[in-house]
Structure 1
């Protein structure tokens, strides 16, 4: 029956979507019949039934109403009753959009489109004209979800936390300033990663990080073993004030990159070869000997700034050398967040700047959710295929399992027996 109807539609040259299209007319008929059924249920009798005589309420015509949808605007005749007590659930009073359109707007916003871009896109593709304020209200509707996520209770113990940042542009009065949006990822006892929160650095150094640590503690995080980050000013002091036994570890990859900034392209391979014995050393003494060898070499004398970058970060780098190979692999880098940041940078680069910190956090949260949902749908499509034929990407961060976690957990249990055994 549907095939015949579609064939007839093609023969008559009727469009599927847009004004007068087949799909809008079909949805119009379904919604109007559904609301009429709701009204019958509300009144207690069907249309034309004599049981309604003397009931005190009856049908009272219709009210024209236009709602936006994923396939264009739909003009409805919404039924009403004489006592004005009927409130349809299918298309609620005051609603100007069907649910699918709102989901589309939020998805486009999470993909990096600005409100004006979304406005032009809907008008060009669906013929739906929505005001800037309407689209803004739709995207603002997720603000409560963001707040609930950002303030949700946390587990009391995370063995490892990663912190990394990406730059976002925030309007500050008449100027646009670069600010760091920090993303925190915690690894639980099962080796599963969880995004703990997103914080835009509004103030410098210790004051900002003290507020972040206090927020995490107030949400239930009582103890952390290792925090891996990129030499953040004031962060070690804030960590020690909140979790006295936590160890702040500078990301080794960030340290290598920082030293390579001063090295010309032609010498990078040679310098990288001389740096490798430092971060792969068996202990601190061996690492210090390797650093001295690099500093005394021709390359070290040619690039003293590269040597100094290691010397300045030495106290925050050396804790890494006290751990075994399995744990070193876990805290060696914040790449798990950097892969996420790479995806997020592709989304925010088209946005120009954000009006405030909350808008930046909202987009980053929506983008993370959107990326994870997209990957989950891809994996669901390949669920029945053999592993060799599956090409869908795994989880980006949220719910991802740390590689080699069992061995790393064993080393943590030896280094921190009093603090970790209670959670095993």
Structure 2
């Protein structure tokens, strides 16, 4: 059994023969084919040279279509891009490029943006992926044949303020500095009155500890200063400094401390300064002033006067009950008194007791329960012109300064007349009638 192969390019009358082949194999490879649409016709040939019915298939060798959509998923200091084709193609992957600024001409992407890699999706993360800032992805489809045009999409990382605090809580909790700062001082091993310096040198840790402690009846107070250099399980060194004060009363420990350290986080050295206290405040003693610059207490930060270059807030609420001003995450703005000098664009709403000082143009339909003003004009004319003869013509000319058309309504004219008798100079009698004609 052999097979006759016939490969043509194009379709219809414009098709042309590319190659033919006779083979006994069940596979055949054609190489060096240019981009385009092809039709392959296969016939089976028996030992007598007779050919069977043809089997035909059509295929294309083309660069892939560009992504139809790119979905951006915001995260904490992270954005994930997931492109999708209009029609799924398992042979297509995506090439990802990234820029912190918009590239005006996509032909400059390869020289202006940063190449991330090739795959089905890609995430960028790090402290430079800041909330409230736009970042740009440039994505194109790739296969063995070629690449599509770039598709641009921009997005921002998460703006969930509460979620960021939880994110930092988890990250900080893994630090050696935080674990050492939160660790309680074991007063059970200390004398009632003591002050000592202890040096510890081991294979994984070099440390100097200074401790001062005093006990009085049911309470004790301890101050401890720790200078430590240690090695973790990844053979990364960490340098830590901690100053802790602790008071134990009725068996309950109360701790405050400050720590500074440098250690590796996610493979990169990161410096940290941590404060541990029920209340944190900064005071400027200039001119005897004792009012704090700021106070942090009970998961709140209190500040007297703030000058910010840029503020990014999930929601804003003024003081007062109820607040005089508020802006919610869904874009709802509430203000008791607002003076707006610029333009206002709105799709719906309600206005009460509003005065429009200058011109107003309504392009749609106006519905009103009551209208006062120059909507209807009434003009009266006497008719007939003489009261003795009911005949004549009146012409009404309309002169209006409005752009819209007016409807002119003329009510019916009613005239009631009578028969009149008259004698001329020859004393001849005649009659005339005062009626409408």
TM normalised by structure 1 equals: 0.19
Structure with bigger strand share is 2
Structure with bigger helix share is 1
TM normalised by structure 2 equals: 0.19
Relative contact order higher in (CA < 8 Å, ≥ 6 apart): 1
